[in-house]
Structure 1
Amino acid sequence: MTPNEKRQQEWLVAQVKHQESPFGQILKGWRANRGFSQLGLALEAGVSARHISFVETGRSQPSRDLIIHLSDTLRIPHRERNMLLLAAGFAPIYTETDLNSDELKNHRRVIELILKGYEPFGAVAFDRTWNVLMSNSGFQATLDLLGLNETNPEVCDNVLKLLFSPDGLRPYVVNWDEVGYHLIQRVHREAIDGGEEGRELLNALLETCDIPSPWRLIDVSKSLELMVPLHLRINDVDMRFFTTITTLGTPQDITLQELRIEAFLPADLETEMLIRAQQQQA
């Protein structure tokens, strides 16, 4: 091999080594998603900007501890942390356990107690794609009142379907423009953190439901309202609710981290009295 050929080979090897690694591509995406420059992330995480640059380009191999530390800094969900670990050649450290398994029976009991604590008002536990996992009697009473469990059970197993489908709650929502806009913007934002499943959920919603054109793009010009009332009109009776969302502490399991409990609480005395009266008649 001539000196010139040797130098050319060394240059090619260097280029391959310095190509952006799969780990680096994912990390760069999350860094951009959170609005950090390499320097900004370095300052926030307490590491050198040069090291951030090297792990993104593949010139340095990140340690598992560094991956976890950067994930904490960037608030990366557990499911996507596993992807980062795999991309860097490490085994995943976060498990995903079936909620109905024996391993989570104590956690399931806690969720049941939380749901029951909201009664007679409705509450529902759902996963990151809004599939209903558990619900309380107040939530089921609303579905029964509308006959949805009997006439359209397929929309009752997913909170988004229930709210956006014309066969669900949508025809009964008086302030749909306000509620629908807030909800679709929430889905847009969650799709950013939700990986491929989150994007598929958003696309399915846009394709199957009648979504106004302005709602089809994320609106980053303003933050979401802290509280959007839900105004239902059922059989000429007005009911107004506000919602609260509960998540579980700092779980190390993917299923538990992604689980949310949403409660529909009366926004006025009339709605509260009506629900309590319905409970007594049941």
Structure 2
Amino acid sequence: MDKKSSFPARLASLRKWRGLSQLQLAAAANCSQRHISFLELGRTQPSREMMRRLSAALGLSFRQSNDLLLSAGFAPIWSDTPFDAETLAPVRQALNFMLEQQEPYPAVVVDRRWNLLQANKGTVAMVEFLVGPLTPGAAVNLADALVAPDVLRPYLTNWQEVVAYFVRSVEADAAADATRETAALRDRLLSYPGVQESLTMPSSAETVAVPILPMRFAKGQVSLELFTTLTILGMPQDPTLQEMRIESFFPMNEKTRRVFSQWATSGAATVHKRKS
């Protein structure tokens, strides 16, 4: 194990990332400052119980806690179950129920880094109307689809405002979980054309005046105005479930409601042909 991934270096890095002194961490973990110092110097080996207390004191996610345990030579505590595993069948059924209740409006299930796990018919109708048929089984990252220049951007009329808000949320995620994967997502999004400029633009009077930032899509004569909610699972005991999010889209006006109702009965392609 290299020096940077060793437990002493990892512990010191996590403590500093949380903005804690050795004394503050010691108080939170119910031990002495001297013990924390010895742990960070590698002069003392942690017990499994101490690892549990350190993880709690640092506010680590299940995945981070597992990583810290591995760096100290312990087996992980939390099982990281694949989303399609049989043991998660009741959760998938519950998610399917939630997505169905959201019809005809879009709803998706995503992981921590916005990889699409599940989507309802309303989502498929909207995406296929905007960008064309989806490839069955293809991996989809909603962050890339939103921020990249050639997917949803041409149809999102307030792209700069939406992307500025979204990228700041990804930056907050990267700061919160301190993982290479979320940092890589943040850096990739920041590298897309126009993103850096959107982050420095002042908010317009119109944006400030509304209580929630809408997403405004337009294609041909069809326009959509939506806001979203994010939901997480209660009391997860698995990293996969802890990181999961359900995003639901709701219409902000009657015109948008009518479009989704028509898609539900006629299909997006038919509505587009009629109104374009």
Q: Is TM > 0.5 for Structure 1 vs Structure 2?
A: yes
TM-score scaled by length of structure 1: 0.80
The answer as to 2:10 corresponding to 1:30 is no
Residue in 1 aligned with 2:232? 247
Corresponding position: 1:175 with 2:180? no
Residue type of the alignment partner of 2:217: L
Counterpart AA for 1:234: K
Larger-gyration structure (1/2): 1
Shift of 1:173: 1.3
* Secondary structure of 2:104 counterpart: coil
Structure 2 CA distance for partners of 1:155 and 1:268, relative to 1, 3 Å? farther
1:122 CA displacement: 0.5
Q: Deviations over 1:229-251 (max 9, x none)?
A: 21222323332211111111222
Alignment match, 2:274: none
Distance 1:273 1:47 in 2: 61
Contact 1:155/1:168 (<8 A) preserved: no
1:143 is paired with a residue whose SS is helix
1:127-148: CA deviation from partner (whole Å, max 9, x where unpaired): 2222111111111110121243
Structure 2, unaligned runs of 5 or more: 201-210, 268-276
Q: CA deviation at 1:269?
A: 3.5
Cα distance in 1 for residues equivalent to 2:4 and 2:186: 29
Q: How many residues align?
A: 255
Using the alignment, how far apart are the partners of 1:149 and 1:173 within structure 2?
18
Closer, same or farther: CA 165–149 of 1 in aligned 2, 3 Å:
farther
Counterparts in 2 of 1:108 and 1:157: CA distance versus 1, 3 Å? same
Query: What is the TM-score when the length of structure 2 is the normalising length?
Result: 0.81
Return 5+ residue gaps in structure 1 as ranges. Answer: 1-18, 218-225
- Determine if the alignment matches structure 1 residue 233 to structure 2 residue 218: yes
In 1, the alpha carbon distance for the partners of 2:119 and 2:170 equals 21
DSSP 3-state at the match of 2:133: helix
Which residue is 1:148 aligned to? Answer: 132
Give the aligned partner of residue 113 of structure 1: 97
Residue 95 and residue 156 in structure 1: after superposition, are their counterparts in 2 closer, same or farther (change >3 A)?
Answer: closer
Quick one: which amino acid aligns to residue 222 of structure 2? Answer: V
